[in-house]
Amino acid sequence: MRATKFRLLGAAFALAAAALLAPHARAQGMDPDQERARQLIVRIRRSMRDVDSLLLSGVQPEKVEKQLVANQERIEELLKQTEAKSQSVVADIDELIKLAKSRQQSGGGG
């Protein structure tokens, strides 16, 4: 069931990439740019979810009270990871934008 859902999700991403870059070419096979866009979308989504997870998992009041020092260390580690993930999101979105713009300029669709 989960595998099926992910396959569907993957297909949606592929279509989304094609739509983001060339909506008129949706029905056709993906070219290398579209494939790259699909990969970027998957990565951005994954990293964003990771950032959500990292930020929200840092908030556990009972541990804050009991293990203040240990918690601080944990949060420091968590923030480091969050920062790295968020940076990767920004870089990937940037690449996706560049890809879309170059695609528009070469007349490959909107």
Partner 1 sequence: MERVVKGSPVRRATGAALLLALFFTHAPAPAMTAGGGGDGDGDRERLLNDQAQVFDRLSSLRKRMERLAAKLEQEGNTHKAELLRKSIAEIDSRALEARKDDLLRKLKDSSLQTFEQQEKLLNDLSDVLKVLLDERKLTDVDEKLKQLRETRADARQLRFEEKRLREKTEDATGDEQKAFERLEKTLSDLLEKQKKLEKEAADEAKAAATVGSRESEELEQRLDQLAQAQAGVVDALEKQARARVGDAAQALEQAAKAARKGGPEELREAARRLDETRTEIEQKAPDLADRLRQVEQSLVEAADAAEGGKDAKDGKDAAKDGAKNGAKEPAKDSAEPDAAARADADARAKAVEARLAEAKRALEDALRAAPKTPAPGDAARAELEKQLGDLAETEPALAEQARQIAEALRARAEKKAAQGQAPAAEQEAAKAVDAAAQELAKAGAELAAEPKEAGAKPGEARRDLPDLKDGLEAAREAKKQLDAARDALAKAGEAARERQQGLANRQDFLRGETEKARQDAKSATERLKSSLDAAGKKKLDEALAQAGQEMRDATQSLQRSDPEGAAGPQQKAEQSLEQALQQVKDGKQKAGENARDKDPGAQQQQMKQLAEEQQKIEEKLRDLMQRMKDRQQKGQEQADAGARSMDRAKQQLDEQDGEQAQQSEREAEKNLQELEKKLDEEETRYQNLRSEEILFRIKEKLADARKRALALHDGIAQVDADRAGAEALPRRLRPKVQQFADDAAALKKDNDDIHDRVAKEGSPSFPWVLEKNSGDLDEIGTRLNSREKETGSFVQILASDVVGRYDRLLQAFDDELKRRQQSKQDPGQGGPPPPQQPGGKSPLVPPVAELLLLKHLEEDVLQDVRTFRAATGEASDPDLDEARMKLLERLGHRHTELTNIFDALVQQQTDPGAPGEGDAKDGEKGDGKTKDDGKPEEGGKPKDGGDKR
Minimum distance from residue 51 beta carbon to partner 1 (Å): 5
Q: What is the DSSP letter of 108?
A: S
Minimum distance from residue 84 beta carbon to partner 1 (Å): 10
Minimum distance from residue 27 beta carbon to partner 1 (Å): 13
Q: Quick one: tokens of 11?
A: 């297909």
- Sites of contact with partner 1 (CB under 8 A): 2, 5-6, 9, 12-13, 15-16, 19-20, 23-24, 41-46, 48-59, 61, 64-65, 68, 72, 75-76, 79-80, 82-83, 86-87, 89-90, 93-94, 96-97, 100-101, 104-105, 107, 109-110
* Spatial separation of the C-alpha atoms in residues 14 and 20, rounded to whole Å: 10
The separation between the first and the last C-alpha atoms of the chain, rounded to the nearest angstrom, is 35
Q: Is 17 exposed, middle or buried (0-12, 13-18, 19+ CB in 10 A)?
A: buried
Choice between 32 and 76, CB closer to partner 1:
76
